[in-house]
Amino acid sequence: MRHLSDRRIRRSTAMLAVAALTLAACGDDDASQDSTSTPETTVAAEDATPETTESMDDMDDMSTDTTMADDMDDMDDMSTDTTMADDMDDMDDTAMPTTDDGASTLRAGLTSLLQEHVYLAGITIETAVDAGGDLETPAVQAAVATLDANSVALSEAVGSVAGPENGEAFLGLWREHIGFFVDYTLARATGDDAAAEQARADLDGYKQAAGAFFEEITAGEIPADALVENLNGHTETLFAAIDAVVAGDATAFDDLRMAAQHMFASALALSTGISAAAPEMFPGDVTSAPAETRAVLTNLLQEHVYLAGIALEQAVEAGGDLEAPAVQAAVATLDANSVALSEVVGSVA
């Protein structure tokens, strides 16, 4: 990377030197021409000092009637009217993928919101379990409100693409499926197997409804069956995390992280279908290298914050005892995220 920077510096310095000499030889009249020249290829007229002009006049092989601009005319394949912008126009006109086109932004946004949904759901579930299943305690109510803010943000994202009515319809479905997860948590915490099975059945119904919903709003670009299959992964990984939380198992943190990581694939599936259904709204390619990079970093950096918060909360609950099993488990899950981030950096640097 150092060599690339040195070459850029030398090339930029050389270009500035040629531009300065050109203006010095041409004088004020030439310097005032072509006011649309780009900053990369022109230098202000005052940079051409009298001393430079005199030195140019004294050069042996240049007559007083010859200017640097005339000499530039003799160079192969280069005219005095050529600017850096012109050179760029001559390059392959195929647009390069970027990290800020519509498709990349859609994928990164869904990655963030869907991952956040899982972590906020996990925090809410643990808070409810800690409260003995009392959903009216201030801590549980606060956690539920934060989780619902994420639900609203997701519905607004859907509404911005499919219209406000569809956004509201999605919000109703999404809130309902969260309620079914709450039912499952309470059933597992109280040992009510029948209620747990009912919650599973209710979530199966939700998956079918969600599949039909997205198939309709994307005109088939997201097939219902494919989305149902993806949602199966969401429910099963979150069931595992809930079971671990209820059992007080130290694997709960890894299980929650696995459930959150599943949403990375969900975001890709949804953004692929949505961008295909509305290409004018989301130009670009959700699978391009820049889009992938942005989604991966969004996923890992946001995950770092949530896992750090969970580890800190566990340490506080343990009275600052960093050797407590729950704290050690939370720290280990956080460190797994750190390793993943370092591997991403190492893959490019």
| Distance from C-alpha of 150 to C-alpha of 116, rounded to nearest angstrom | 7
Could you give the number of structural domains in the chain? Answer: 2
DSSP 8-state assignment for residue 36 = T
| Distance from C-alpha of 5 to C-alpha of 217, rounded to nearest angstrom | 48
Helix (H) or strand (E) holding 90: helix 84-90
Same domain, yes or no: 77 and 116? no
- Nearest alpha carbon to residue 48 among 70, 66, 74, 30: 30
Amino acid letter, residue 77? D
- For the chain, counts of helices (H) and of strands (E): 12, 0
Same domain, yes or no: 37 and 6? yes
Same domain, yes or no: 58 and 115? no
Same domain, yes or no: 147 and 79? no
Tokens of 284: 């670009």
Range of the domain at 12: 2-90
Instruction: With H, G, I as helix, E, B as strand and everything else as coil, classify residue 26.
Output: helix
pLDDT in tens, the chain (349 residues): 433 334 333 344 333 333 333 333 344 444 344 434 433 433 333 344 444 444 444 444 444 444 444 544 544 444 444 444 444 344 444 456 666 789 999 999 999 999 999 999 999 999 999 999 999 999 999 999 999 999 999 999 999 999 999 999 999 999 999 999 999 999 999 999 999 999 999 999 999 999 999 999 999 999 999 999 999 999 999 999 999 999 999 999 999 999 999 999 999 999 999 999 999 999 999 999 999 999 999 999 999 999 999 999 999 999 999 999 999 999 999 999 999 999 999 999 8
| Distance from C-alpha of 248 to C-alpha of 326, rounded to nearest angstrom | 9
Give the residue from 33, 64, 90 where a domain finishes: 90
What is this structure's pTM? 0.73
CA distances from 38 to 10, 11, 31, 41, 340 (A): 19, 17, 13, 6, 43
Same domain, yes or no: 224 and 343? yes
Same domain, yes or no: 182 and 297? yes
Same domain, yes or no: 323 and 198? yes
Query: Is position 313 within any domain?
Result: yes
Give the residue from 42, 59, 90 where a domain finishes: 90
Query: Is position 61 within any domain?
Result: yes
Q: Residue 168: phi, psi to the nearest 5?
A: -70, -40
CA distances from 4 to 149, 150, 212, 315 (A): 46, 43, 52, 46
Tokens of 96: 């390069």
Same domain, yes or no: 129 and 47? no
Same domain, yes or no: 106 and 86? no
| Distance from C-alpha of 241 to C-alpha of 126, rounded to nearest angstrom | 10
Question: Would you say 112 and 298 are in contact if contact means Cβ atoms under 8 Å apart?
Answer: yes
Instruction: With H, G, I as helix, E, B as strand and everything else as coil, classify residue 206.
Output: helix
Give the residue from 62, 90, 118 where a domain finishes: 90
